[in-house]
């Protein structure tokens, strides 16, 4: 998480946003679409079997189509995967 927050701070040049996202994305100054996307990525990170049609519908309500929902899912799942591999191998320790 720290490396992702630092990357965001560097590329966005917005230290306040990076810090707010590090603390709690629900408190950060985000668009409704960005908040819905991050809510979904937290859900699939913590409890992927809890995803329902309503979660997909919420993404559609804020403007994501099926292709975008697939992309969000694939990218979040890939980061979850690669972070777990790195953690299991002790990368960064």
pLDDT in tens, 51-89: 999 999 999 999 999 999 999 999 999 989 988 898 899
The pLDDT of residue 70 is 98
Of the candidates 80, 83, 84, 38, the residue with the CA atom closest to the CA atom of residue 59? 38
Determine what percent of the chain is predicted with pLDDT higher than 90: 55
Distance, CA of 21 to CA of 79 (rounded, Å): 17
Residue 50 has pLDDT above 90, yes or no: yes
Cβ neighbourhood burial of 34 (10 Å; 0-12, 13-18, 19+):
middle
Q: Where in the chain is the domain with CATH 1.20.1290.10?
A: 31-93
* Range 85-91, long-range pairs (CB < 8 A, 24+ positions): none
Q: What is 31-93's CATH topology?
A: AhpD-like (1.20.1290)
Cβ neighbourhood burial of 2 (10 Å; 0-12, 13-18, 19+):
exposed
Q: Residue 25 in contact with residue 44, Cβ under 8 Å?
A: no
């Amino acid at each position: 998480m720290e490396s992702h927050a630092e990357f965001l701070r560097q590329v966005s040049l917005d230290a306040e946003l990076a810090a707010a996202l590090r603390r709690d994305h629900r408190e950060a100054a985000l668009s409704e679409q960005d908040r819905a996307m991050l809510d979904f990525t937290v859900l699939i990170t913590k409890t992927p079997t809890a995803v329902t049609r309503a979660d997909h519908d919420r993404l559609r309500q804020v403007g994501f189509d099926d292709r975008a929902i697939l992309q969000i899912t694939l990218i979040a799942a890939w980061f979850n995967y690669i972070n777990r591999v790195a953690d299991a191998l002790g990368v960064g320790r």
